[in-house]
Amino acid sequence: MKKNISYLAVLVLVISSFVACKKDDTTTAAATVTSSFAIRGTTFNTSTGSGVSAFQAINSFGTLVTYGLTSDGKGKGLVYISFYGTARPAAGQYNITATNPTAANQVTLLVQDSVSVAKQGLFNPTGTDNVKATVALTSAGKLSITLPSTQLTGSNFDNTNSSNTVITTTTATVSGTFTEQ
């Protein structure tokens, strides 16, 4: 139980740093992102009418943020792809790490899904499967990122009983493509 509480405290800090942080003054103008990605076997797409944002400088990381919906519009998926430094990443291969990137060839993820009251998860990469994200630039200079199947670890939040959230440590995978328009 003590491990779960400390793990949750770390997750809250990570989410707070991404969501409630002051954006850097060099934030790139927002564009739209089209994406199709899968978390724990559930597919999410931005074409279902979900909102998206694009590459932006958040604190000391350059982050592509996108979320999508399931085909029925009920499930939501969110992916933060964070690169070292605030500059747009160059085309190439980036090692997917479990922690914040500390070198120019690294990237990390924060992944969240909410499919039902019993299936809501928050995950980050294990960093042990040695996979690489591929970054390409379109002819217009926009980012196109491909994530191979990447092992994740995190927590599932089962809110079936509204007075008792059951939190379990679980594993998952994420994969997909994310392209600025």
pLDDT on residue 104:
93
pLDDT tier at 26, thresholds 50, 70, 90: very low
Distance, CA of 130 to CA of 118 (rounded, Å): 31
Domain boundaries, the chain: 2-180
User: Per-residue pLDDT averaged across 87-109, rounded?
Assistant: 94
pLDDT on residue 180:
83
Six-digit token string for 46: 């931005």
pTM, two decimals, is: 0.78
pLDDT on residue 105:
95
Mean of all residue pLDDT scores within the chain? 81
Kindly report, residue by residue over 119-152, the tens digit of the pLDDT.
999 999 999 999 999 999 988 888 899 999 999 9
Distance, CA of 149 to CA of 144 (rounded, Å): 16
Contact 72, 43 (CB under 8 A): no
pLDDT tier at 31, thresholds 50, 70, 90: low
Residue 43 vs residues 69, 86, 132, 135: alpha-carbon distances, Å: 8, 29, 21, 21
Closest to 143 (Cα-Cα) out of 77, 62, 69: 62
pLDDT on residue 166:
95
Kindly report, residue by residue over 33-56, the tens digit of the pLDDT.
788 999 999 999 886 545 556 678
* Exposed e or buried b per residue across 39-69, where buried means at least 16 C-beta atoms within 10 angstroms of its C-beta: bbebbbbbeeebebebbbbbeebbbbbbbbb
